Amino acid sequence: MSGDHGLRSSITATINALNQNSALHISLVGDEPSILLALAQKKYNPEQLQIHHSPDIVAMDEIPSKALRYKKQSSMYRVLEMLRDGHVSGVISAGNTGALVAMSCIVLKRLSGVSRPAICAPIPAQNGYTLMLDLGANISCDAAQLYQFAVMGASLSKALGASDTPRLALLNIGAELIKGPSVVKEAAELISADPRLNYVGFAEGNDIFSEQIDVVVCDGFTGNVALKVCEGTASFIRNQLKTKFEQSIYGRLSAILAMPVLKAFQGEINPDRYNGAALLGLNGVVIKSHGSSGVESFESAIHQAALAVSEGVTQSIGTQIGTNKL
């Protein structure tokens, strides 16, 4: 129950999700008195909601190794134990990303054959969105790990309904086969050799937003930088448009005329619609919500977690990697 906004967004998002789906059941893990107070004015079916008291939290700036050692009574650690023991089907956290990755690997363990878990999230694109991984869990990767990321990304893409044969690409400095580091070229050979994967070749940074790709694979350093550039660019465009329209009376009049288009554009690039990064490769569904998630953003993470559980993403990844251990 952490994150920048704490219960203000997560409680409202939880109630909205429950009221939209009568088959959904959610467990809230955190400080019980605070949760009950936040729920006091909400209307919901109490049979769909459980509260589990946890006296401790992991701070957003806490060092993951220290959190792993000293915060075993935290809501983050406890909810992962609940997933491990079968009391819940998936976990959503807006807390410390490094701590969540470290705790997940220890409590849940990796799927058999998975070398490292990867963070995967949707990026707005012309075809709706493009899944991208890894986004920061692994600073450097070898070819076999990139191949596993491709398998995981394809499984999630299928679960989210993008395509039965999602198009996979490796992020590179050029589309030509001779370009890029050796590790990316070796990964391309591994991915293209798997007949169950629809590999379409190398992708450059601008291809992330195209209609030609469903999943983009890269190491965590590259992916995290690319993600932050995407977010920064979207913010820059919004701010520049606002500034230009407010500079003169003509700009303000133009803004009134353009308002329907501007609102539609803002909705398309709104990061809240795409919130929810899946931590793939673990024995269970773990979704990392953005630390600054608002209500709509947290609802998106809940929806993604429910979909990943219902579509058996974990089982799909385990089966495919289990028959291709590298």
Tell me how many domains the chain contains: 2
Residue 131 in any domain: the answer is yes
- Name the nearest CA neighbour of 150 among 204, 188, 183, 121: 188
Mean pLDDT calculated for residue range 291-317: 84
- What is the DSSP code string of 93-161? E-S-HHHHHHHHHHHT-BPTT-SS-EEEEEEEETTEEEEEE-SSS-SS--HHHHHHHHHHHHHHHHHTT
CA atoms within 13 A on the CB side of 1: 27
Q: Provide the residue range defining the domain that includes 38.
A: 1-114+281-306
- Percentage of the chain lying above the pLDDT 90 cut: 45
**Which CATH number is 51's domain given?**
3.40.718.10
Q: Is the per-residue pLDDT at 122 higher than 70?
A: yes
The rounded mean pLDDT for the chain is: 85
Segment 277-304 shows an average pLDDT of 85
pLDDT for 190 = 95
- Asked whether residue 325 is domain-assigned, the answer is no
Q: How does pLDDT run across 200-212, given as a tens digit for each residue? A: 999 998 888 888 8
Spatial contact of 165 and 136, defined as CB atoms under 8 Å apart: no
Q: What is the pLDDT of residues 160-171, one digit of tens each?
A: 776 789 999 999
Instruction: Report yes or no on 205 lying in a domain.
Output: yes
Question: What pLDDT does residue 189 have?
Answer: 94
For residues 148 and 168, state if they share a domain: yes
197 and 99 within one domain: no
% of the chain beyond a pLDDT of 70: 89
89 and 126 housed in the same domain = no
Q: What is the pLDDT of residues 255-277, one digit of tens each?
A: 676 666 666 555 555 555 556 78
Residues 123, 263 within the same domain = yes
> In this structure, are 67 and 126 located in the same domain?
no
Q: Are residues 44 and 84 in the same domain?
A: yes
Residue that finishes a domain, picked among 247, 272, 297:
272
Residue 18: band (very low, low, confident or very high) from pLDDT cuts 50, 70, 90: very high
Same domain, 64 and 22: yes
Give the Cα separation of 319 and 314 in Å (integer): 9
Q: Are residues 193 and 88 in the same domain?
A: no
Q: Does residue 5 surpass a pLDDT of 60? A: no
pLDDT tens, residue by residue, 27-70: 999 999 999 999 988 898 989 999 999 989 898 889 999 999 99
Higher pLDDT, 236 or 100: 100
3-state secondary structure of 28: strand
Amino acid at 153: G
Write out the H or E segment, with its range, that includes residue 237: helix 220-246
* Residue that terminates a domain, selected from 229, 253, 272: 272
Distance CA 11, CA 302 (A): 12
User: What is the reported pLDDT for 262?
Assistant: 60
Residue 232 shares a structural domain with residue 150: yes
Instruction: For residue 160, give the nearest of 323, 307, 6 by alpha carbon.
Output: 307
Domain match, 109 and 122 both: no
204 lies in the same domain as 74: no
Round to whole Å and give the CA distance between 1 and 58.
10
Q: In this structure, is residue 41 part of a structural domain?
A: yes
Residue 265 domain-assigned (yes or no): yes
Report, as an integer, the average pLDDT of 117-144. 88
Q: Which residues contact 315 (CB under 8 A, 6 or more apart)?
A: none
Residue after which a domain boundary falls, among 223, 248, 272? 272
Residues 126 and 210 in one domain: yes
